[in-house]
Structure 1
Amino acid sequence: MASSALNQKSNFHARSNSLPSRPHPLVTQIEEHLCRLKSNESASSSMTRNLSGLRDLYELIDSLLQLPVTQKSLAQQCNDKQVNELLNGSLKLLDVCGVAKDALFQAKEDTKNLQSILRRRRGDGVGFTNEAKEYLASRQKAKKLINKSLKACKSAFAQLENDGEATFSMLREVEGAAFRVFQCLFSYISGTKMESKSTKWSLVSKLMSSKRVTCEGEATETNEFERVDAVLCTLIDNKTRKSGKISSDGAQIELQKLESSIQDFEDGVECLQRLLIKTRVSVLNILSR
């Protein structure tokens, strides 16, 4: 999205005669939050911080949409094409949000099930091995659904025009920022690709060092999804399990950490979904007057 409005400095107040020459404090705050989100992405900040930042941004948008000057600007100056783009973008975001909720819910259920099996069997027996394989298969299924969802939505945010009415351009830029955060969340959930048996221990060693190199070439912390994937791949291999390099206790600890993170993400996505719906309803109400 090299040409995306996300990569350009916002000048919303300069592009509309409907807004006062001096930008409303809310506009300034929104611009600052957009810049902060962009900085967080490039700095590989925590996923929880990105979700929290996006939530704060949409709360500001909600306040801005309550201003009479904003409502007048949207109602009078947006053409049909702009309205369709804005509403289509909000609908796509809700679709992506739903996929994220489903993926997190399934991951949490699978994680709880594995923890229960581990407590009963202490990592031994065919039962746990089968459950671990099912967990990894479920992860692969989730990745496919995530990739399908992103592919279906990318076109809606690939080219965000920055020459429309000021309020419209700002709302479209916020939608683009939201899509980028969900992309980061999906990347976080997907983790690394599964390796062949011959490289399982190498993968575990790399992940357990808590560092990896991203596609941008930056060293980042490995996340909980990646570490659980790696540990389970190793535990499935009987030879490695017998060597004691990775214990069932270690797997239990990683699963507990993952469950805690998933809960935080679920809370963040649930809050975002409510805000996305609220924003869409507000825009629809303004445009229908």
Structure 2
Amino acid sequence: MATTYHSRSNSFPSQSHPAIESVEDHLCSLRADDSESTSVCSNLASLRNLHEGINDLIQMPSIQQTLSHENWINELLEGSLKLVDLCSLSREIVSLTKESVQDLESSIRRNKTETATSADVSAYVASRKKITKMVNKCIKNLKSFNNKSATDNELWRMMKEAESHDLSVLKSVLILLSGDNETSTKTSWSLLSKFTTQNRRVYSESVAEDLSSLNIQKSTKNMDSKNMLKQLKSSEMTIQEIEDGLEALFRSLVKTRVSLLNVLSH
């Protein structure tokens, strides 16, 4: 998931502090998730908690003093802006995905036929293609992130590691939601398996199965309406869970960015 940083510089407060310990604990938890694996939704919640801890850390006078005297705070701000934009776009994609699912559900119920009509499925497929195009463009833009360490300062390292976790989890969400063709569906299954523990395997595989119904093609126009509605409803519930996780993470990312801007303005 993310590059692990362990070294501690002399400029970082050596005195133990709850805010520092909190961020380190959250980072350690995310590193463990990389090897043990958890669900995407759980990782979104972990990221939210991490950024809440980072925000508390930035409020420390000693940290603010370090930030105000370092020339790399502008790079941290640039990274935070990209993360806010990426999370915002991810929320938009999830919202559009949910809307397309709900539109197809409504059409099927309104027509009251045994099978979904060709027009209904065609409209849904067109919407999915648009969403997949957005996802591909979004993932392509991830290459603009610079996760290389330019200093041995521990605060910098922690912030960049957090950024790396953010990118990894948000990318996994986007790939999972793309579902444009068999290749992307397989990628989603493979990627999701990295977030699956033994004791949560049933739940996580259920998430992938729920979202696999997004990959409805024109050839499935003769699918029984009841079965299609059941699949779409499962997808909608999972999408809602992801949407809630992204919304909470977005608020935390904005809060962290505001804290960094406040340090720069003082």
Q: How would you bin the TM-score normalised by the shorter chain?
A: 0.7 to 0.9
Matches of residues 5-20 of structure 1 in structure 2 within 5 Å? 6-11=2-7, 14-20=8-14
Matches of residues 1-289 of structure 1 in structure 2 within 5 Å? 6-11=2-7, 14-20=8-14, 22-76=15-69, 78-79=70-71, 82-124=72-114, 128-157=117-146, 159-161=147-149, 163-191=151-179, 193-194=181-182, 214=190, 221=205, 222-230=208-216, 233-236=218-221, 241=222, 246-289=223-266
Deviations 1:207-245 (A, max 9, x none): 9xxxx8616997972342212324x55532xxxx3xxxx
Bigger RCO of structures 1 and 2 (CA < 8 A, at least 6 apart): 2
Identity of aligned residues (%): 31
**Residues 173, 181 of structure 1: alpha-carbon distance in 2 compared, 3 angstrom cutoff:** same
Rg (Cα) greater in structure: 1
Using the TM superposition, give the Cα deviation of residue 19 of structure 1 relative to its aligned residue in structure 2, in angstroms.
0.8
**Residues 135, 40 of structure 1: alpha-carbon distance in 2 compared, 3 angstrom cutoff:** farther
Alpha-carbon distance between aligned partners in 2 of 1:141 and 1:86, rounded to the nearest angstrom: 32
Alpha-carbon distance between aligned partners in 1 of 2:231 and 2:192, rounded to the nearest angstrom: 26
**Residues 57, 94 of structure 1: alpha-carbon distance in 2 compared, 3 angstrom cutoff:** same
Alpha-carbon distance between aligned partners in 2 of 1:120 and 1:216, rounded to the nearest angstrom: 34
Contact 1:191 1:223 (8 Å CA) reproduced: no
Contact 2:132 2:179 (8 Å CA) reproduced: no
> Secondary structure of the equivalent of 1:285?
helix
Deviations 1:125-160 (A, max 9, x none): 7x7322222212222221221221222232314x32
**Residues 223, 88 of structure 1: alpha-carbon distance in 2 compared, 3 angstrom cutoff:** farther
Aligned residues: 254
Contact 2:94 2:239 (8 Å CA) reproduced: yes
Alpha-carbon distance between aligned partners in 1 of 2:210 and 2:169, rounded to the nearest angstrom: 18
Contact 2:5 2:161 (8 Å CA) reproduced: no
Gaps of 5+ in 2: 197-203
Contact 2:58 2:64 (8 Å CA) reproduced: yes
**Residues 213, 168 of structure 1: alpha-carbon distance in 2 compared, 3 angstrom cutoff:** closer
TM (normalized to structure 2)?
A: 0.84
Equivalent position amino acid for 2:29 in 1: R
**Residues 63, 109 of structure 1: alpha-carbon distance in 2 compared, 3 angstrom cutoff:** same
Alpha-carbon distance between aligned partners in 2 of 1:8 and 1:40, rounded to the nearest angstrom: 12
Query: In angstroms, what is the RMSD of aligned CA positions?
Result: 2.8
Alpha-carbon distance between aligned partners in 1 of 2:189 and 2:91, rounded to the nearest angstrom: 27
TM (normalized to structure 1)?
A: 0.78
Using the TM superposition, give the Cα deviation of residue 166 of structure 1 relative to its aligned residue in structure 2, in angstroms.
2.1
Gaps of 5+ in 1: 196-202
